[in-house]
Amino acid sequence: MQLELIGSHPFEQDAQGRLKSAIGTIFPDHKALYTLPPPVHACQRTGFVDHLNEARKKDGRPPLTSEEEQAVETQSVDLIFEPDEILIRPDPERMELAFAADELLQELVSKRKIKFLLLSDERVRDAIKRRGECWRLSSTPKTVEGKQKLVFSSKVGIFGKPIYFYNRLTGTRWLTWQSFSELGSLDDSALAQHLDEIGEHASRSNRLGHPEIDFFAVDMRQFNSTHLVGQRFTELPPAELRKKYEELRERFRSAVHEGFRVDDCHKNGWGQRMVTTLFLEGNESQNEQITNGFSREFFLQLEWLPGGRFEQGEFLLDPVFDEAETHPQDKPLQELCDLGAKGVIFNLIREFGDLEYINVGRIPESLSIQRPQRRGRRGVYIAELKSRSEPKSIKRFARVQKWGVWEHLDEGKEMLQSIEESEEYTDFLLDRRLGCRQLGMNLTRRLALRRLSEIYRGNQGRYRGQVIRTSYFERDYLPGIATDKLPPENYARNGYALKLAALLGQAAAASLIVGRAVEEGARPVFDDGDELVVEDEEGMPADIMLGDHSGAFGDYRRAFEEFASHFAKPVNSRIAFLTNPHEFARVYLDALRAQFLRVQGDYRKRRRAFDTLFKHCKYDAAGSFGYRWERVLKRLDAANVDSVINTIRQNIKLPPENVKPVGID
């Protein structure tokens, strides 16, 4: 039996380009979707019961009993329609009903156009996560324009004009003062009908326990539903109706701060509050990322991707991949069905073997706004998986090798040469990591080299369509906050800033010694997204670990003093947040000096061990790793540490000691 559609299709539009129906109610037991007006889920449930009784009457059967009617309404799922998505609002205690609704909706629209709400509820979140479907979490736009479009596309009506902003999560329709004020332009009959509608529905709660209508940004002590409930505005004479409306309008206006009286997303106060009220109030995928323990810099950045789910130990690839195969020209669908992520999933299944679920997401852009990647491959994935033999979920981080077979083929090279150069670059990366550890860099303990298969679709036509091997590096996910993205309020904690200063100084010494830079002669790389602060149980800095050592040995010729201005930035960039920037600078420089001297001393004590570590590597003055290693060690040995520290100190722009920095109360 196919899904029965009672009303318009969820994406059907009217002559003005608006959806004919903003909401729908699906009844999985009856395989029916009801979208007829009015756009109130309670009314749609009642409407469907009437529809069933009409059918029973035609068949000569008695109407449903009150208990049967109640059962029909209970076995339903609320839906919200957007121009290109259907949003399921599940009952957290009955997720199987939501998933049954999902299966039916896939007969009507593509699975990728069906998303889930109420993700702040752990039961909802875990149920979706266990199906490997975090990619189906609903999220909000990132730009002001995107948020404005989303906010104003949420406007709905009940029986009259679309004057309410609809919260798709709670089912509440929010009425702003501007919308209420504009009712005054209606004729007497329409005005009275709208006032009756507001009064009637403001006094009702939906089955989630939320009001059907509420008032946006009001002081509830001055204006609330009691001022309309009980009135029958359609029974009032015109003059009395207008007088009563003006009284309500003025009372509503007085209860709203002037910053919230104009509906304008470009006004930060109104826009932020409306977005929070409609989309972020304890919900959305941002909240899901927080509860999963991902760092703050991943908020609104981590893009979950399709994978699959496990049933009775068997892995079932998401059917959306089949859709991608049959629609190769659908670019958004091809981007969603990321074959790299698919390869990462398969490798993790091979490694663990006893998984309950796995979800993989990607970071589409660099999180360092100061260091965008212009050349080579940009491929970063994060996986969350649960092994049956482990009590907690496991998080893994994967980065695709920047220069691989694909990239060398795109340069016009032969296949064999591309493979050889890719392998050489892999060795270079692994040697570089060992060199960083040898010189005191605080890296993750384990790093695994993995490979996945790809179909080459690059620039060289003669190799297009061939299977190639792509390397990537996988490590444990590092919990922490990037040093350049710490919330300003953290610096106000007693002792936080000085502990951070000491850790920053130690980390800075390692980056300075190995010459981390985007490329030779370019600015150094430090404190711009790769260093992660790990906090202890009391929320104080306990360690700084480097998540990605890219750029290490990038500048191996220049004197350390030439890097001074950049290594002064960790102090300069924080002065506005520090109560005592002079002490912060002293602790930072002291720690940098001590760590530099320790590494320099280790080298001088064990010179042969350092010098011969990479003797087996290719030695080429054009920039082989063996050559870079030699140059870095010679620079380290020759360095005058006090000269380096003094030059950095001269580049720190501290205010006079008796002047309080801006931003400190």
| pLDDT tens per residue, range 160-172 | 899 999 988 888 9
Question: Considering only 190-204, 359-373, 580-594, which range has the smallest mean pLDDT?
Answer: 359-373
Average predicted confidence (pLDDT) for the chain: 89
Give the CA dihedral 522, 523, 529, 532, nearest 10 degrees.
Answer: 110
Q: Is the dihedral of CA 343, 348, 351, 357 positive or negative?
A: negative
| 146: containing domain | 139-291
- Asked if residue 533 has pLDDT above 70, the reply is yes
Do 84 and 184 sit in the same domain of this protein? no
| Pure H helices in 606-657 | 607-611, 625-638, 641-650
- Asked if residue 662 has pLDDT above 50, the reply is no
Which of 451, 476, 501 represents a domain boundary (last residue)? 476
Q: Which of helix, strand or coil describes residue 173?
A: strand
Identify the pLDDT of residue 283: 41
Identify the pLDDT of residue 366: 54
Do 285 and 335 sit in the same domain of this protein? no
Identify the pLDDT of residue 141: 57
Identify the pLDDT of residue 279: 72
DSSP 280: I
Do 146 and 108 sit in the same domain of this protein? no
Q: How confident is the model at residue 268 (pLDDT cuts 50, 70, 90)?
A: low
Do 460 and 359 sit in the same domain of this protein? yes
- Phi, psi (deg, nearest 5) at residue 69: -60, -45
| Pure H helices in 2-143 | 41-58, 66-74, 95-105, 122-130
Domain presence at residue 240: yes
Question: Considering only 175-179, 212-216, 646-650, 659-663, which range has the smallest mean pLDDT?
Answer: 659-663
Q: How confident is the model at residue 369 (pLDDT cuts 50, 70, 90)?
A: very low
* Helix axes of 564-572 and 581-605: crossing angle, nearest 10 degrees: 140
Q: Which of helix, strand or coil describes residue 276?
A: helix
Domain presence at residue 571: yes
If one compares 419 and 661, the residue with the highest pLDDT of the two is: 419
Identify the pLDDT of residue 265: 77
Can you tell me the mean pLDDT for 465-485?
A: 91
Which of 455, 476, 497 represents a domain boundary (last residue)? 476
Can you tell me the mean pLDDT for 431-457?
A: 93
Burial of 664 (0-12, 13-18, 19+ CB in 10 A): middle
Domain presence at residue 124: no
What are the angstrom distances between the C-alpha of 445 and each of 369, 442, 455, 547? 27, 9, 33, 11
Residue 168 tokens, joined: 């798709």
The answer to whether 555 touches 524, Cβ cutoff 8 Å, is yes
Do 158 and 272 sit in the same domain of this protein? yes
Q: How confident is the model at residue 280 (pLDDT cuts 50, 70, 90)?
A: low
Long-range Cβ pairs for the range 182-187 (8 Å, 24+): 183/245, 184/245, 184/246, 184/249
Identify the pLDDT of residue 287: 40
The answer to whether 216 touches 175, Cβ cutoff 8 Å, is yes
**Beta-bridge partner residues of 449:** 473
What are the angstrom distances between the C-alpha of 67 and each of 54, 73, 323, 358? 17, 10, 42, 41
Can you tell me the mean pLDDT for 189-195?
A: 95
Q: How confident is the model at residue 501 (pLDDT cuts 50, 70, 90)?
A: very high
Q: How many domains would you assign to the chain?
A: 4
Residue 640 tokens, joined: 């005058």
What are the angstrom distances between the C-alpha of 54 and each of 48, 73, 74, 411? 10, 16, 20, 70
Q: How confident is the model at residue 499 (pLDDT cuts 50, 70, 90)?
A: very high
Do 523 and 506 sit in the same domain of this protein? yes
If one compares 535 and 302, the residue with the highest pLDDT of the two is: 535
Rounded distance between C-alpha atoms, residue 447 and residue 443, angstroms: 10
Residue 156 tokens, joined: 């709905």
Bond into 479 cis (ω within 30): no
Percentages (nearest 5) of helix, strand, coil residues in the chain: 45, 15, 40
Rounded distance between C-alpha atoms, residue 162 and residue 166, angstroms: 10
Domain presence at residue 660: no
Identify the pLDDT of residue 550: 86
Do 368 and 450 sit in the same domain of this protein? yes
Q: How confident is the model at residue 58 (pLDDT cuts 50, 70, 90)?
A: very high
If one compares 191 and 444, the residue with the highest pLDDT of the two is: 191
**Cβ contacts of residue 153 below 8 Å, gap of 6+?**
82, 83
CATH number at residue 629: 1.10.1070
Can you point out the beta strands (E) in 412-466?
448-455
Which of 454, 476, 498 represents a domain boundary (last residue)? 476
Identify the pLDDT of residue 664: 40
Identify the pLDDT of residue 308: 94
Do 230 and 355 sit in the same domain of this protein? no
Amino acid at 597: L
Identify the pLDDT of residue 502: 98
**Beta-bridge partner residues of 304:** 361
Question: Considering only 15-19, 55-59, 504-508, which range has the smallest mean pLDDT?
Answer: 15-19
Residue whose entry in the numeric block shows the structure tokens 């009563």: 244
Give the CA dihedral 388, 392, 393, 398, nearest 10 degrees.
Answer: -110
Rounded distance between C-alpha atoms, residue 495 and residue 647, angstroms: 27
Do 306 and 231 sit in the same domain of this protein? no
Domain presence at residue 129: no
Do 458 and 493 sit in the same domain of this protein? no
Q: How confident is the model at residue 143 (pLDDT cuts 50, 70, 90)?
A: low
Domain presence at residue 123: no
Can you tell me the mean pLDDT for 174-202?
A: 95
Do 32 and 7 sit in the same domain of this protein? yes
- Asked if residue 591 has pLDDT above 70, the reply is yes
The string of pLDDT tens digits covering residues 214-238 is 999 999 999 999 998 888 999 999 9
Residue 41 tokens, joined: 């889920």
- Asked if residue 88 has pLDDT above 90, the reply is yes
- Residue 194 sits at the vertex; the CA angle it makes with 193 and 200, to the nearest 5 degrees, is 90
Identify the pLDDT of residue 278: 82
Domain presence at residue 372: yes
Do 286 and 307 sit in the same domain of this protein? no
pTM: 0.73
- pLDDT > 70: what percent of the chain? 91
